[in-house]
Amino acid sequence: MTTTATLDTHAHARPRGIRRWLTTTNHKDIGTLYLCFSFAMFLFAGSLAMLIRAELFQPGLQFFQPNVFNQLTTMHGLIMIFGAIMPAFVGFANWQIPLMIGAPDMAFPRLNNWSFWLLPMAFLLLIGSLFAPGGAVAGGWTMYPPLYIQGGPGYDMNIFAIHIMGISSIIGSINIITTVFNMRAPGMTLMKMPMFVWTWLITAFLLVAVMPVLASTVTMLLTDRHFGTHFFDAAGGGDPVMFQHLFWFFGHPEVYIMILPAFGILSTIIPTFSRKPLFAYHSMVYATIAIAVLAFTVWAHHMFTVGMPIAGQLFFMYATMLIAVPTGVKVFSWIATMWRGSITFETPMLFSVAVVCLFTIGGLSGLVLAVVPVDIQLQDTYYVVAHFHYVLFSGAAMSIMAGAYYWLPKWTGHMYDEKLGQWHFWLTTIAFNVTFFPMHFTGLAGMPRRIPDYALQFADFNMISSIGSFVLGASQILFLYIVIKCIRGGAPAGARPWEGAETLEWSLPSPLPYHTFEVPPVIK
């Protein structure tokens, strides 16, 4: 009785309602905020994609003039990357890293609150730029000058939004690195950490390394726009291609920032439902580090058509091909984990198996694109659109879905609706492939990306893609329904709903108490 009283005073009666969420320093609350925010952005950016696909349903201009269409594609890209995928993984990190390493919370709880609440401000600016005179950024998420220099005030709003997001990401990453290095339970050595924690640790280093590069690059754009500098203007001694080098020096590691945590989620789920330990844990850790290091050496493969010297093209082609080796190690190890297991197919496992398969398609098309002469034909075509959606939707986004189904019972204390979950899985997977697989063909046949209207020979595949995308979009409403239903009720999950789950969070009750591991667990 007295103990409880002491604990209550210690925890300072928590505020309720909106103040709880504004002032919270609890890693679980902040994780929830991140996940809700990213879900909202996912649906918003997804609906922009529906508008894009509606315009591309048939040749001719039906709904949007090119200026609006270009804003739709640009905003879809920016919001999906910075608003949906990245914050979702930070949400998982906030919930799971303290639980998985036996820490009571993140190392810097107040910074944690700040890093989340910066995000809605950034997106207020970014989405608000749609209503600025001249509209939002319409030059693609890659923001290439000199085109970027031509835009209106919406373009400046975008630059400031990126600054704010960058600060948020850097704070979040420092928090994760410090937490992992300093707050592991006794006995939790680095090489005993769950793969999810490992992948996030490496991701956090990537973020700290490249977000400042992006921030300074967009600042140079800002001064070129308003303060008379000529960093990217040949007329003043600058070089537009230098922007591309700087941007992709951020942009390529960014790709791995969005996929490494997904690898971590897969490496957690696949052993659980195969009822077998993760195959080659050590190699998996080294492969992740290798991917992260190589990520800094391949950026110019996004720029094979800018007129690089032979040595540049050869180097970046070889480096890009090399990155397939550690990525292959990961895929082989997941399959070896399933091999001779005792596999069941709950929704998280279905999503994970699909990710292994579909992500590999994206990886292999990446290998096709790495071959410089072939890339010359495919650069800036729908083939590239197909490639990065196989990596980012069926790689990152579907891993996030897998992770959500996997941990929702732990977070909410309720089981999700398994039947609806499986419906969501099949609808998503089939519609995804109907949408994006034909884009390989339209790209090979010669359709450039980022065009609002196209020649007639591309009409059939575009119609198929559009139909697929509408089903894909609608299926995510079902996902929203399943998540809300699970939060509101459902069969009690119990501490360990997945019999094969081994990580620390499953030793705690579901739903989790507000504070966990106030006394560190002992790791054998």
Q: Note if 389 is an active site residue.
A: no
- Let me know: does 268 contact 348? Beta carbons within 8 Å: no
Q: Does 293 participate in binding other proteins (rule CB under 8 A)?
A: no
Distances (CA, A) of 73 to 52, 79, 275, 470: 7, 10, 42, 16
Closest distance to other proteins from the beta carbon of 457 (Å): 5
By CB under 8 A, what part of segment 403-442 binds other proteins?
Answer: 441
Burial of 189 (0-12, 13-18, 19+ CB in 10 A): exposed
Q: Which CB sits closer to other proteins, 94 or 320?
A: 320
342 catalytic, yes or no? no
DSSP helix/strand/coil, 117? helix
DSSP 272-336: HHHTSPPTTHHHHHHHHHHHHHHGGG-GGGG-TTS---HHHHHHHHHHHHHTHHHHHHHHHHHHH
Of positions 15, 128, 277, 513, contacts other proteins by CB under 8 A: 277
Q: Of the two residues 73 and 412, which places its CB atom closer to other proteins in the complex?
A: 73
Cα distances (angstroms) measured from residue 160 to each of 109, 128, 134, 254: 25, 12, 17, 19
| Choice between 22 and 455, CB closer to other proteins | 455
CB 416 within 8 A of CB 405: yes
* SS3 track for 216-279: HHHHHHHHHHHCCCCCCCHHHCCCHHHHHHHHHHHHHHHHHHCCHHHHHHHHHHHHHHHCCCCC
**Residues numbered 213-252 forming contacts with other proteins, rule: CB under 8 A:** 226, 233-235, 239-241
Q: Which of residues 431-490 bind other proteins (CB under 8 A)?
A: 441, 444-446, 448, 450-457, 459-461
Asked if 199 is an active-site residue, the reply is no
Q: Pick from 278, 354, 404, 501: which binds other proteins (CB under 8 A)?
A: 278
Catalytic residue among 169, 352, 394, 435: 169
| Complex with other proteins: residue 211 or 354, whichever CB lies closer | 354
Residue among 183, 249, 177 nearest 208 (CA): 177
Q: Which residues in 142-171 contact other proteins (CB under 8 A)?
A: 144, 146-147, 149-150, 152-153
* Contacting residue, 353, 472, 482, 486, with other proteins by CB under 8 A: 353
Among 275, 449, 450, 485, the active-site one is 449
How far apart CA 483 and CA 408 sit, in angstroms, is: 8
In the set 22, 124, 293, 306, which binds other proteins (CB under 8 A)? 306
Q: Assess whether 380 carries a catalytic annotation.
A: no
Q: Is 449 a catalytic residue?
A: yes
Q: Is 282 a catalytic residue?
A: no
Residues in 97-136 at the binding interface with other proteins, rule: CB under 8 A: 132-135
Q: Contacts with other proteins in 379-408 (CB under 8 A)?
A: 379-381
Distance of alpha carbon 273 from its chain centroid, rounded?
A: 24
The whole-angstrom separation of Cα 180 and Cα 203 is 12
Closest alpha carbon to 434 in 410, 392, 464, 412: 464
Query: Is-catalytic flag, 47?
Result: no
- Whether 330 is a known active-site residue: answer yes
Site string for other proteins, 44-73 (x = CB under 8 A): --------------xxxxx--xxx--x---
Our CA angle for 217, 222, 228, nearest 5°, is 115
Write down the least CB distance from residue 354 to other proteins, Å.
Answer: 11
Q: Is 301 in the active site? A: yes
Shortest Cβ distance from residue 224 to other proteins (Å)? 10
Q: Which of 53, 55, 74, 141 is catalytic?
A: 141
Residue closer to other proteins, measured from CB, 257 or 278? 278
Catalytic (active site) residue 267: yes
What whole-number distance in Å separates Cα of residue 476 and Cα of residue 424? 8
Cα separation, 453 vs 70, in Å, equals: 11
**Catalytic (active site) residue 169:** yes
Q: How far is the CB of 308 from other proteins (least distance, A)?
A: 9
Tell the residue number behind the tokens 């844990």, with chain if given: 281
From CA 156, how far away is CA 181, in angstroms rounded? 38
Check if 254 is active-site.
yes
368 vs 478 by CB, closer to other proteins:
368
Check if 333 is active-site.
no
* Residue of 256, 382, 406, 498 marked catalytic: 256
Smallest distance from other proteins to CB 489, Å: 28
- Count the residues of the shown chain that bind other proteins, applying the rule CB under 8 A: 100
- Active-site annotation, residues: 76, 105, 141, 168-169, 252, 254, 256, 267, 301-302, 327, 330, 449
